[in-house]
Amino acid sequence: MKTYFWRGGGIPGLAAGLILGCFFKGIQAWSGEPVYVLLLTIDYLPVVGGADLPEGAAFLLHLLISCLAAWVIHRIILRRRWTGKRRWAALMGAGIGIGVLLYPTSFLSAYTPHDFAPVFLTWWLAGHLLYGITLGLMGTGIHPRVSAERLP
């Protein structure tokens, strides 16, 4: 199970989370839109308990969440036996869906900048679309040794 987690979602989730973080940090530096700040505002999660985490620790939590999300997406795609265009649509839809779901929850954080311009949401969703595309390129939903029939 441990190896399956890393191949199925952990490694692709790690790569996609790193790319998403770098993309948002670059966009924030270039445009001034606080997309990277929003990515790291996780103090509203019960596990964190409102702690003021340093950037590195908050980013590690982001990567952990990314790995878990990628693994869940991977399992859903295998269970449904989606391939080709359906697989890509599911991955990109999952990326956008994650962005849409996380956007309103970020307002629960005390650190969320509340002066968003419409372009901010565009960057936020574009980054999460990139997340889904990266998962696809990393092989999420395709497993060389485990077929959908063998899943419990």
- Low-confidence winner among 3-7, 20-24, 46-50, 93-97 (lowest mean pLDDT): 3-7
How remote is the C-alpha of 150 from its chain's centroid?
Answer: 27
What band does 19 get if pLDDT is binned at 50, 70 and 90?
A: very high
**Residue range 111-127, pLDDT digits in tens:** 676 666 788 889 999 99
Q: Is residue 152 part of a domain?
A: no
Q: What share of the chain is helix, strand, coil (3-state, %, to 5)?
A: 70, 0, 30
CA 42 → CA 104, 105, 126, distances in Å?
12, 9, 20
Query: Which domain, by its residues, includes 77?
Result: 2-144
* Stated pTM of the model: 0.83
How far is 107 from 74, CA to CA, in rounded Å?
A: 29
**Total domain count, the chain:** 1
Quick one: tokens of 114?
Answer: 């509340």
Residue 147: the pLDDT is 45
E-assigned strand segments in the chain: none
